[in-house]
Structure 1
């Protein structure tokens, strides 16, 4: 079957094979444009889009009723997105956009461009966009946040938890320092029957609070690198959450999120506890297992 199109979004007076007709019209109709689908199925596309065809219009509804159920433009696009290289897929998207824009220009403004013009223009737009995007991306220096001591007359407790989903146990660790970066105490403890990283982190926070109470330390700020745990503690209706009973023991203490780069000591202590079966607590002097990190944070290299 051969179909003759006049000014349908491209060159006029060109003949199409049925396969090409199915591709151009099928892909377009598969986007479910209500006006154009209705015109096609009524056989009145000729009037609405200045399109005429050497085809029996009486059979056109039958033709499309058999064609449309087999079309799934979304699945086809997903297939292209997964199968094509990124640069090729970008060009495909630009071409589809240009075709869609040209079709609408013909429908609503009665003007269109040739296929050659569309191809060159959309590739030019893509090139200009890529250049603009490339020039806008400036090299960014990654600045790691370092540990800082607490505010004057306060203490800081850094805590962390270690957990693996395949194992029922974990480890928690923490360190307490004053506003002058002076070491006060630290702990490393294995914990049993835990089921998530947040669970372990909440136990680490509670252990830090308990140690501060034991030493009669007040005005404490606790830092954790588990954002979800910090958010749960701050949640007004925390008792309705998982581990609400643990959170209840933590209330009344200032809790802050700290990235891993400023929580190195607690991270090492938690990993040590994960591999151990002993509860360890140190007071007064810094244990050798964390001495290097504490000294680095207290006296960072210039």
Structure 2
């Protein structure tokens, strides 16, 4: 078969089911997404020529560039994801949400391929419109998140205060020894995220978790402090007792903000959320960070 790029072909197959569900009908929110992505003009002629999803995909693989194929396939996947969310969780994604999810997937996939093929430095354009900026880590570039040891998990916690919303947002993210996202959570209220993170880990029945906070005061008190009669000390003493009772093989470490970007980004997102949320899949606001820190 005369395909221009085997890798693009393999990725395209991932979107095949989504195409069958959403594209052949030429109606609904899918067309709005294609128009927003400025690729509908590439797809619509094939819908006139063929009435079978597989034929449409194989035809596009032959006539489009690798970059165009990558863009279209990731949008197909995001549309398919939106369809499943609506069907199983009664969640309706906007056109913007579908687009941003596709952008994050594509950027993560391209970043991983660049790392695996360092000799390929050619510039790759994208037809997907962008409405966000890339994360930039401030400070010493050598300070970055580190994966936990094999067989352990790491839970990063951070807080962010919003003057506009008058809220304290908490962000927590659990990752495994390969850097893969396990689960994350955002919530508002308490100034001590560690208190909530410890109880959340216990509710999930997880073990061997390394907690990282970018508050040296919290880490120092947890490991060697006592006797503080303030509200801070009361909350910390409760956290220490709870951890020693139920999470005996876990500990708390201090990390710099530059190595705690995922939790910090989640904490900022929490300040604009009306309630707490738990994510089984990677939230779009931290997708780039997760991919970068896995490498």
TM superposition score category, shorter chain reference: 0.3 to 0.5
Query: What TM-score, normalized by structure 2, do the two folds share?
Result: 0.46
Greater RCO between the two (CA within 8 Å, min separation 6)? 2
Q: Which has the larger radius of gyration?
A: 1
Query: What TM-score, normalized by structure 1, do the two folds share?
Result: 0.45
